[in-house]
Structure formats: C-alpha cells, structure tokens
Structure 1
Amino acid sequence: MEDKVTHFGSDTLTSGKAMMAHGPNALHSFVAEKFEAVMGRELPQMEVRYHNLSVTTNVTVTGEITAESELPTVFNTIKRSLAKFAWNKRVVQKEIIKNVSGVFKPGTITLLLGQPGSGKTSLMRVLAGQFPKSGNVEIEGDVSYNGVPREEITKLLPQFSAYVTQFDKHFPKLTVRETLEFAYAVCGGGMSKHTEEMLSQGTPEQSTEAVETARKYFENFPDLVIEQLGLHICQDTIIGSGMLRGVSGGERKRVTTGEMEFGMKYMTLMDEISTGLDSAATFDIITTQRSIAKCLHKTIVIALLQPAPEVFNLFDNVMVLNQGEIIYHGPRDQAVPYFGTLGFKCPPRRDAADFLLDLGTNMQKKYQVEPPTGMTQHPRLASEFSEYWRQSPLYADLIGAINAPHDPERLTDVEEHMKLMPEFRQSFWESTKTVTERQWRLTKRNTSFIFVRALMVVVMGLIYGSTFYQTDPTDAQMTIGILFQATIFMSLGQTAQVPTFYQARDIFYKQRSANFYRSASFAIANSLALIPQAVGESIVFGSLVYWMAGLVAHAGHFVIFLIIMMLMNLVYAAWFFCLTAICPSFNIAKPMSTFTIVIFNLFGGFVMAKNVMPDWLIWVYYLVPDSWSLRAL
C-alpha cells in the first residue's frame, strides 16, 4: 500500500475512475497527507458523546390489541375508526431509547446491531439532529459534539453530520448522475473559500499543491462517489419507481448512500444500507467507509442487519441494542468473549453477528452453557443484559471516556471549523436557482402527464365551446355561467397535482432535514415550474371557450380573461400544494381537496348569490378565489 501511495500523484485526480485505480485507501491517504502537511495538524474531526440518553413518546391506547383485532377486515377497520372517539382512551408512555451512554471517536467505524424495533434508527436520528420534533416526544440526556451541547448546534448539525436513511426516496424521472450532482451542488459543490484558506497555511509550494489537489478532488467528487458505489454502469439510467422501470433496488439503495456523501462531513451515520445489496457490494462500500474513517479521521457509524463475517470483521467497534437498551458497546473482537462471561458460547460455524442478534430473544437458548460462578441463571430480558453490561469493566472504561477531558485539538476544531460552518452551503438565490432547474427538468420529463393534460384541455375546451356556441352576450345569466364553468374546470384540473406534490414532499423532508436548501427555495421552485403549464393551458382552453362561445370580441377583454384563467390555475395549484403540506397523508389530502373545491364553488357567487348567503358565512365569500375571479370577469 505504501508503494501505491508513493506513486499516487495530483495528476491522477482527473476522474473518479482514475482516483479509484489504486483503491480507496491509496486515494484517501494521498489526500490526507497533502492536506495535513499544509495544515500542520490532522484534518478536522468530531467526537460524539452521549450520556443517559432517553427517548420517550406518549401513545394513545383505546383498547387491548390482539391478533384478531389487527386483521384487515371491514369490521376491524370501522372499529378502529370509531375507537378514536372512545371515552376509555388512555395515554401510555413508550420508551424508545432507555438511558443509554456511549462515545463515538473519530477515526473509528462502529457497527450498530439490533433486531427491528430495537431503537437503532431513533438513536442515529437523535445523534444526527434529525429526530422529528413532536409535542408527545421527549428527549432527555446529554449529547455533545467535540464538547458542544446538541442544543447549541441543532441547526448546523446536518452540515457536519450526515445521516443515510433506510428508505429510498428519490425522483423517479432523474438519472443516477443527476440525483448525485444535485446533492453535490446544494452541499457546496467545489472547494469552499474556508477550505482554500485552511490549505494556504504552509509554504507557497505546499499550499499551491494542496489547493490544486483539493480543487481536482472536489471537482470530480460526483464521479468519485459513482465509482466508489459501483454506479458507473447505470449512471445515466433514471432511478425509476414501482410504476416506472429504472435502476435495480440495490442500485437505488446505493444512490441513497451516495446522496449524503457530499459536503465537509465529520460524522456519517448509515441506517440499513445493505438492504437489497449482495455481500460483495456491501463489502466494497464498508471498505471505502473504513478507509475514510482511518485516513480522513471521520466518525462512521453503520447499522446493518445480519452482515457477512468478512463485513463484520471490517469494523472496529460493535454496539448491540435490544428493546432500546445497550447490551454491549465496545471493541469488535471482545464482543463474543464478553458474552462468554455471561454463559453464552458462539458455535464455531455460527456468524458472530447472528450470535449477537439472537441474544435477548427466544433464540438464545441454543447458545447457553453452564453459567459462570456467581450467576444463578442466564440473563433473558434486555434489561437484565443491560444491567450486567453496566457492571462490566468495559462499561467502566466507556464511562471514563465520556467523562474524560476533551482533546484540545477537538476544541480547536470547534472554534476554527464548526462554528464557522454556515447553515446552508448555498445562498438563498443560488439554492432557489438550483432547485428550480431540477424542478423544470422534472416537469419536462413528465411527458405522459403533459400529453394527457394537453389532450384534456383541448377536448374540454371544444366541449365547453360547442355547448355554449355563439351565445347571446347580452344574456347575463348565460355569460356568467360560462365564466363560472371555466373556473370550475381550472380548479378540478389541478387536483391531479396532489399525488405529484405528495411524492415530492417525502423527498423534501429528507433533503430539508439534511440542510440541502431552504423551505422557501423549494416552494418558489415548485411555483415557478407551474407557470409555463398554467400559461399554456389558459391560452388553449381560454381561446377555445372565449371565441366559440361568442363573448365580447375585444382584444383587451380577451387578454384579461386569459390572465384570470392563468391566475386561477396557479391559485388552485398553490392551494393543493398547501393542502399537501398540511395533511398527514394522501388519503386525507385527496378528499380534502374535493371538499374545498365544493366550498369554493358553493360560495363563489354563482350557485348561491352573495345577497342570499347567511350573514355569519359571508366571510367565506371574500376568502374563496372563485368569487374574486367571477367579479373580475
């Protein structure tokens, strides 16, 4: 490996393939050597400590839950719906994470093991600063990053802490490269000014070489991520979805991992990244992450379910969670011997990871041997395992590390790097431009939707125009009816946007939690992307209806009619966008959109005139957009 590092030069940093030619360790060693030589110290690092951390939530229970009550029958569905209004409801406190303590040191890679529901995801999201805030969830305990309490840097935390979710949420119409390049752009893109200043502290020759190395490294970073994750074969293939053919499930999982690789991250937390991957792909990814941890001094924590033995051996430390409690957190090679002191022996042909996962479950009996002296019986519950863990010498060492003074170098990293980190890498207008470009690309590629909408607008325009063909313009009732029907068409047509908005909402939540961009940038980008569609639909539909119906043959009146149609199109699209943000699920947003259309049309001034509306509901008339458009027309 030394020979590879020696022959690795800055002229090799021309593409992702060239950078990975000698393997990830050679690349990362070369980059670290160049950077640290100029800085005169190691690269910025992060040590995470948490002490007595607990997460609890209040759950409303309306009755006893049995296997029969969970069956998807009509009776059970009705019963669960009515149970929400029951008088015998009670609130039960559920502990998700129970008083856990630990430390993740820089330069180490830790494996997080646990059965589903053990609290792995909750722990990682709390440490990443992405645990959802809710009134019925309470987080207790101390979490610090290089000695800085979590509460002081919550907004900045996503900038130096990456969290890879276990769910693959992506835009199906974008290619693999486009998805990763978007993440690259919003997470800082090339070399930042702060990085350039950091690499200008050595001799002129050293600084010039380090800056040039960094510039090439960051410029080709999307290619590097694609090569590291083995996505070069499918980089120009759309991601796809359950209804649209694209990349495979394993490739989609690797895109999820790569999306969070960009930016100056000091800590990476990965949640179930091996789902859908074969053992070879998982091994390559973990090998790369180990190289990043060792050479670039990053803090890496990865949750895996049943890793292969060769993957398990790549980790330095192992944490085992069971029902929200830590039953082991220490060196990987001491995990099996530790449980041997509790009377559990791992069979020769049993994987160590599977052995650790079976402890605290009904499967542990096959590992039980004679209890050690002083033990009357084997621990069975998670609380019993946790109690033995707290009495072990390894736990005492862990508490000693938590209470130890912080390394002065880590405190320097806080002052020189962490506190100088902006909340967002791009400015407001830059991020708005980037998100708008992505949204416009998505709009153009939704060709089937555009074609169907265009066909619908033309057909409905001809139907409306022929139905009211050359009506008498002096017939006020008929004219108002035509105008009102036109506004109804605009409102009903925008309900088709609700599923699209919901798909984008899940992706927005993930990317906003990672501080990719501001919420306002996303909202503005979506609004701007709707304008061309609104203009086109209004011109086509408005022209057919206006001239076929024989309305006033005046250019000014016609332009006003088109403008109002376009505004109605945008207003309803904005309203459904708002409903999507407010409603907790699609099943609620869809009927709510229909309900609001009925209200808007009912109080629009045509179905029910203003002078016959009840006085206590007259305020609705002034709120709905239909009334304003009808009066303007």
Structure 2
Amino acid sequence: MSVNLESGKTMLEHGPEALNRFLASSFEPAIGSEMPQLEVRYKNLSVTADITVTEDVTAKSEIPTLYNTVARSLARMSPLRRVVRKEVIKNASGVFKPGTITLVLGQPGSGKSALMKMLSAQFPVESNITVEGEITYNGVPQKEVIKRVPQFVEYVPQTDKHFATLTTRETLEYAHKFVGAGLAEKGAETFTKGSVEENLAAIEAAKAYYQNYPDVVIGQLGLQNCENTIIGNAMLRGVSGGERKRVTTGEMEFGMKYVSLMDEISTGLDSAATYDIICTQRSIAKTLHKAVAISLLQPAPEVFALFDYILIMNEGEVMYHGRREDVVPYFESLGFKCPADRDVADYLLDLGTRMQHQYEVPLPLGMMKHPRAASDFAEAFSHSRVYADMVGMIEAPMEPELAKHMSEYMDPVKQFRRSWFRNIGALSVRHMTILWRNKAYVASRIVMTCFMGLIYGSTFFDVDPTDVQVMLGVIFQAVLFMSLSQASQIPVFMEAREIFYKQRGANFYQTLSYVVGYSIALIPPSLFEIIIFGSLVYWMCGFVANAGAYIIYLVLLTLTNLVLSTWFFLLTALCPNLDIAKPMSTFSIVFIIIFAGFVQPKSEIPDYLVWIYWINPIGWCMRALSVNEYRSSKYDVCEYGGVNYCSEFNMNMGEYYLSQFGVPSSKTWLWTGAIFMFLFYVFLLGASTYLLEYRRYLAPTNIQ
C-alpha cells in the first residue's frame, strides 16, 4: 500500500499500522536487512539503597522545612546514625527482544519503575545506591554506552511535567527539534544497499516522515483536538489529564529509538484511548522490530490480549516473566485459579498480596503450601520451566545481525543530537516564549516597575549631591530593587528544574545549554525593566546629566540584575525543594543588604566578615555607580557650592563625599566593578551547570 507523504495527516489516512508497514517496506530494501534492532538483557540485577532512618518520625517532622532538612542532613552525618538497606530490585533477570511487546504489572512500590529506569540508564545511581548484575544492549555492557543509552532507549515517566504555557504542538515540536535533528540526513547515508529506485524511495519516505513527525505523533495519540491548546497546570486551564498523559508519551517518542519503556501511560485515559495507543505500539513493535515494554494499571482484557509477554513484580521480586498465554496456567499450577468473572490482569495484581486468598484452590501434587509473600512466588518462579526458558534466551549467544546493528546504527550515535550552541538558541527562544506568555506576571512587573520608579523619583526628586547619604541611599535602593526583585522567579526556576531533570535524562540537550539559554531568556525583560525604572530614577533624582554616565549606570544595573537572577537560579539547583529555596534566598538577601557597604560601611564590618563585602555584587555595583556619579566631570572639581574642597580637604568635591562613606574614589572601580560582576556571573553559571549535572534530587534519602 502506498502512502501520501504530503503531510502528517495524509500519512495517517489509512491508520498508524499502514504507515508503519509502508515505512518498513520502504526502508528495509535500502538498508539490506530488517529494521535496526536492539535487544536488552539483564541478568542477576539487584539495586539496593542505604537509607538513613529518622527516629521519632511524626507528621510534623516530615514537612519539608529548612529545619527538618538540616536535621536530617545532620542525622546522616552522625556517627550514631542508623542506616537500613532497602532492596529496590532483587536478583532480576530477563530479556526484551525486538519485535515483542511486554506488559509489566506490579503494585505501587513493586520495583517496576526502578527496573525501567535502570534499563534506560535513567536511574539516579548515587553514593547510597548499590547496583549488582549486568545489563547489555545487543551484547554491549551498559557501562560502555551509558551516556548514549537514552538516544536509542526511551523511557516514558509516570509523572506529567510540562511547561504550562506551551501548547501541545509546541511541546512536541521542541522535543523533535532537540532529538530529531539530522535523522533524515543520517537515514540518507544508510540507504545505499538497494537499487537506485529503492534508495531514492527510502530517502524520500525518511525525509517526509521526520519532517512531519510531530504531526504523526499527534495523529497516533489522538491529540488533534488539543494540539493548539496550552498544557496548563493546577492554576491554568489547559488540556485534560488524559491528554496531558498522551503528551508525556509523545514527547519521548522522538528520535531514533529502538526500545520503548513506558511507565503507567494509561493513567487518566479511557479504555478506548488506551486500546488505540497499545495497538499503535504493538504495530510499531511488529513492523519496525522495536522492543516495547509498558506498565499499566488494571488493563482491560482486550488490552491485555495485545501483549506477547507478561512481567509481574512485587516488592522488587520477579514473580513471573514469560509468554502471556502461559501466565494463567503457570499460576494455576501454584494453586491459584482465576475466576471466570475476574479480569486476568486484576487477578495477577492480587497475587502476592492479602487479596490472593480468594483465588486459592487445592494444591497440585508435590506442593506443600501456597506461596504467600512475593519472595515465595519469586522462589517458585526460579524453579519453573518458564524461568528456564527465559534463562535460555538470556544465555543464548547474541545473533550476529544484532551485533552488526549495534556497530552500524548505535555506536555512531553521539550523546546529544545537536551542538550545545544550537541548543542554546532553541532553549532561549523557548524560555522567552514561556516568560512572555505569563501575561499576569509581565503586566504586574511593568506596572510595579513604573510605579516604583515614579515613587523613588518623586520622593528623592533632584537630590542635592552634597547630601551624600541620601544620594548613596538612592543608588543603593535602585540597585537593590532591580536585583532582588528577581527572587520572585524562584518558584518558576524550581518548576522548570523538574522538567529539566526529565529532558536532560532523555539527552534532549546539554546542561550548559539549558543554563545559558535560560539566562539569555531573562535578559530582554530585565533590560526592559532597567530602562524604565533606571531612567525614571536617574533623571528625576538629579543624577549627572551626561550620556556616558547614564549608559554606564544602565550597564552596571543590568550586570547586577543578571548576577542576582543567576544567584537565585543557583539556589534552586542547590536546594532540594521550594520550601528550602525560599528561606535560603531570604537568608542570602539579608547578607547582601548588610554587607553591601551602605547599611554598614566597610570600616565597621568585622575583619573576619569583610570577605563578604568583597564578594557582594550589590556592593561592587554600589561602588561603581557612586564613582560613576561623583567622579563625573560635574563633580570632579575643586570648588563646588562655594567650598574649595582641594584647599580644605586636599581632595576634590567628588573624592571628598565618597570618602565620607569609605567608598574608593579611583575611576578604575568603574571597569573593575563591571569585570567582577561579569566574572561572578560566569562563575554562577558554571556552578549552576555543575549542580544540575551532578547533584540532582531524584533519589530518596530517608524513610520512616
């Protein structure tokens, strides 16, 4: 069957299954073999976590406050701490073969999500986590390709974290932009083993497919009615919960993925939508030879029947992993019969729990008792024929064709599809779009900036430069207002961090690209605010009427604003949650204000704390702006207001008034202040990048 390649809509005219068959029939002759395949094997896989147990646990002690967080941190460092070992996955072995679709069943906390994250190289392996066993991809150990695994193994998470003001289409198009770049060109390089006509047909199909892939995903997941609707959140109306779940699934579909691991993708979906999605995934597995594993909660019988294999987990134990048609007979052989009026999936989920008694029947010959705990079922499974068949597949030599696919299609894949520079551009545009769509925030900032500028300007209208305390106070307040107002972005930064964790885990983009791109996106609104507020204060308060001094004033305010916004960004990378980041920002603001050199002059700061004065960006900006004002040509004179400062104080007018507050008067402080703030800004960007890359808050640290 031919497919119209004009658009994503026309490509799906005959349904997803017809499109998949067309792609396979177009690509396979041109590559001289079946579609590239990836087989995932894991053997004796165990994951344990050493977790500090907090004593006297109460509801109050579990609230994520600054005090409780510090107390738990101190408890983990105490020599008297009590550590328990939690087994997340216990000696699991299995294989996900190309061309098959596996249903993963398990109660919450069963370990199924941890297994999927381990196989997709997205499990947060930290110092308290121990991993044993081996995972291979077409025979290659995971540790050899761990940084590149997300490029060919997709993991769809349970949680739906998206930017609320982006539409469904925009969310999917950005995913395509990050991980789908260059795939059509890459495909053209591999389509060389067929006839000229076959190669050209494959190239044409690949270009059309990847060019229209967002439309294809939208059509496959039934998102046409909400493609131009914003995602929304608890405070902003957007798509429905089921549609949001489908966006989460679609976002991870982009790129050249050979294995799909999907974690509870049916939450919020009706049975018909779930059936359609699983049918599409089954078609992809069968025609494009992908390995697909999907965990579902209580799938309907018609959905259950679509799977080839069933994997059942409970308490980290594998209770069963084998063919779907063998699962009911297997558990009947253990003395558990599924009633005719009970869905098989519900029956299987009840095994290993207190609900299993309703299924018990007389034991077969040779069995002494029914299995009770998950460990009993795992022990019984390890002695079964089904397990022996699975071990046989794990121990079987790797097919030469799979090894060839690894070297030809997976090995050349880089960790990221696009350069960090190109990703910076895309991320900057994305975050600018998100920022400007928050109309309430933008409008309130504009009104507040204009209002506060007029308040400051009218209150300190045309300040007498000889009243140095008032003049420096105006400078201090202007710097403080423009810089510390960025603290309001902390909740936005924290929300974006969760989305970054997901997308960075999937190798969408480099951490440096995210940090720099986000910072660039903050520059236009900052410039807008600074020009409005800074101009009102500068001209109404009677600062020196000099174009050069005015431009320097705006530049210094902009640099300080960037430094402080990056500081608050750093705090969100450093702190585990918003409840810690907010008090930490307040704590830092107190230090910034006290040690800026105005509230407490440098001469009155204790020697052991003076270092805070020298690293304080507000202090550096204040010194530079003070020099910019008082060392201008208007005040850089001996005689002013009838007083000869050179003869009376042995310094000119500007130097004299700067000395009253211990402000150094050399004009070099203008450019040294600017250089310091720029270097400090770069340092904060680097620190933020390091924390987001190597210190992510994904793993549990304490339990009751």
2:637 is matched with none
- Give the match's secondary structure for 1:477: helix
- 1:364 lines up with 2:349 in the alignment: no
> Which one-letter code corresponds to 1:63 in the other structure?
E
Structure 2 Cα separation of the partners of residues 26 and 531 of structure 1: 48
Shift of residue 460, structure 1, vs aligned partner: 0.9
Q: Give, in angstroms, the shift of residue 508 of structure 1.
A: 0.7
Equivalent pair of 1:114/1:322 in contact (CA under 8 Å): yes
Q: Residue 195 and residue 544 in structure 1: after superposition, are their counterparts in 2 closer, same or farther (change >3 A)?
A: same
**Aligned residue pairs: how many?**
621
Q: 1:250 aligns with which of 222, 242, 265?
A: 242
1:86-485 paired onto structure 2 within 5 Å: 89-189=81-181, 191-485=183-477
Within 2, Cα distance between the matches of 1:78 and 1:172?
Answer: 31
Distance (whole Å) between structure 1 residues aligned to residue 453 and residue 542 of structure 2 = 14
Q: Which amino acid aligns with 1:424?
A: F
2:463 and 2:426 map into 1 onto residues whose CA distance is 48
**Of 5, 29, 32, which aligns to 1:13?**
5
Maintained 8 Å contact 1:321/1:327: yes
**CA separation of 1:200/1:167 partners in 2, compared to 1, >3 Å: closer, same or farther?**
same
> Matches of 1:196 and 1:245 in 2, distance apart?
43
The yes-or-no answer on 1:559 pairing with 2:551 is: yes
| 1:560-594 residue CA offsets vs partner (Å, 9 max, x unmatched) | 21111111211111111111111111111111111
Q: 2:489 aligns with which of 477, 497, 511?
A: 497
Percentage of pairs with the same residue: 54
Distance 1:82 1:39 in 2: 60
User: Which amino acid counterpart does residue 412 of structure 1 have in structure 2?
Assistant: K
TM-score by length of 2: 0.86
8 Å CA contact 1:63–1:89 kept in 2: the answer is: no
Please give the root-mean-square deviation of Cα atoms over the aligned residues, in Å: 1.8
* Alignment partners' CA distance in 2, 1:95 and 1:70: 25
Q: Alpha-carbon deviation of 1:269?
A: 0.4
SS at match of 2:283: helix
SS of 1:426's partner is coil
Partner-residue secondary structure (3-state), 1:171: coil
- Determine the structure 2 residue equivalent to 1:37: 29
Distance in 2 (CA, whole Å) between partners of 1:526 and 1:488 is 22
Deviation at 1:193, TM superposition (A): 2.8
3-state SS, counterpart of residue 335 of structure 2: coil
2-structure distance, mates of 1:226, 1:79: 44
Q: 1:456 to 1:299 in 2, by over 3 A?
A: same
- How far the C-alpha of 1:446 sits from its partner, in A, is 1.7
Range with greater deviation from structure 2 (606-615 or 182-191): 182-191
Give the residue type in structure 2 aligned to 1:630.
M
Instruction: Tell me, yes or no, if the aligned pair for 2:102 and 2:309 is still in contact at 8 Å.
Output: yes
Distance 1:73 1:571, change over 3 A: closer
2:380 counterpart SS class: helix
Q: Distance in 1 between matches of 2:177 and 2:68?
A: 50
Structure 1 distance, partners of 2:105, 2:601, is: 66
Deviations 1:576-618 (A, max 9, x none): 1111111111111111111111111111111111122211222
1:626 Cα deviation after fit? 1.1
**Structure 1 residue 79: Cα displacement:** 8.8
1:334: how far off?
A: 0.6
| Cα drift, residue 537 of structure 1 | 0.9
Q: Which residue of 2 aligns with 1:627?
A: 619
Q: CA deviation at 1:274?
A: 0.3
Name the structure 2 match of 1:3: none
Correspondence for 1:5: none
Q: Is the contact between residue 424 and residue 514 of structure 2 (CA under 8 Å) also seen in structure 1?
A: yes
Counterpart amino acid of 2:498?
D
Tell me the amino acid that sits aligned with residue 207 of structure 1.
N
Q: Matches of 1:216 and 1:193 in 2, distance apart?
A: 12
Please identify, of 104-113 and 549-558, the stretch whose mean Cα deviation from structure 2 is larger: 549-558
Distance 1:506 1:236, change over 3 A: same
* Displacement of 1:106: 0.4
2:94 alignment partner, SS class: strand
CA spacing shift, 1:79–1:138, aligned 2, 3 Å: closer
Q: Kindly indicate whether the alpha-carbon contact (under 8 Å) linking 1:176 and 1:237 is maintained by their aligned counterparts in 2.
A: yes
Deviation per residue, 1:229-252 (Å, 9 max, x gap): 000011011111110001101000
Question: Per-residue deviation at 1:84?
Answer: 6.5
Residues 443 and 71 of structure 1, relative CA distance in 2, 3 Å threshold: closer
* Alignment TM-score, normalising by the size of structure 1: 0.95
| Residue type of the alignment partner of 2:205 | T
Moved more, 409-418 or 463-472: 463-472
Cα offset, 1:27, TM superposition: 1.3
Q: CA deviation at 1:418?
A: 0.9
**Cα–Cα, structure 1 residues 388 and 64, in superposed 2: closer, same or farther, change >3 Å?**
farther
Cα distance in structure 2, aligned partners of 1:350 and 1:271: 24
Task: Give every structure 1 segment of 4 or more consecutive aligned residues whose post-TM-superposition deviation is greater than 4 Å.
Answer: 70-74, 76-88
Preserved CA contact (<8 Å) 1:128 1:158: yes
* Structure 1 residues 139 and 18, CA gap change in structure 2 (3 angstroms): same
SS at match of 2:226: coil
Change (3 A) 1:35 1:83: closer
Whether the 8 Å contact between 1:473 and 1:552 is mirrored in structure 2 is no
Return the alpha-carbon distance in structure 2 between the equivalents of residues 80 and 529 of structure 1: 32
Report if aligned partners of 2:181, 2:418 keep a CA contact under 8 Å in 1.
no
- For residues 621 and 435 of structure 1, the distance between their equivalents in structure 2, rounded to whole angstroms, comes to 35
Q: Which amino acid aligns with 1:482?
A: V
Name the residue aligned to 1:25: 17
- How many Å apart are 1:492 and its aligned residue? 2.5
Determine which structure has more spread, i.e. the larger CA radius of gyration. 2
- The question of whether the paired residues in 1 share the 8 Å contact of 2:105 and 2:313 is answered with yes
Alignment-mate amino acid for residue 546 of structure 2: H
Q: 1:584 aligns with which of 567, 576, 594?
A: 576
Paired letter, 1:581: A
Structure 1: unaligned runs, 5 residues or longer: 1-7
Residue 82 of structure 1 deviates from its aligned partner by: 5.9
Matches of 1:268 and 1:218 in 2, distance apart? 18
Q: C-alpha separation between the residues in 1 aligned to 2:156 and 2:324?
A: 23
Q: Name the SS for the 1:166 alignment partner.
A: coil
- Kept in 2: contact 1:62–1:84 (CA 8 A): no
Q: Which amino acid aligns with 1:612?
A: E
SS in 1 for 2:224: coil
State how far apart, in whole Å, the 2-side matches of 1:70 and 1:320 are. Answer: 33
**CA separation in 2, counterparts of 1:513 and 1:389?**
33
**Paired position in structure 2 for 1:4:** none
SS at match of 2:358: helix
Query: 2: distance between equivalents of 1:85 and 1:167?
Result: 31
| Counterpart Cα distance in 2 of 1:91 and 1:291 | 47
1:190–1:215 contact (8 Å) kept in structure 2: no
**Residue 70 (structure 1) shift:** 4.2
2:567 corresponds to which of 567, 575, 579: 575
CA distance in 1, matches of 2:188, 2:104: 36
- The C-alpha deviation readout for 1:57-81, integer Å capped at 9, x for no partner, is 011113366xxx448999x999998
Structure 2: 5+ residue runs without aligned partners?
A: 626-704
Deviation at 1:83, TM superposition (A): 7.0
Residue 600 of structure 1, aligned match among 563, 570, 592: 592
* Contact kept in structure 2, 1:190 and 1:218, CA below 8 Å: no
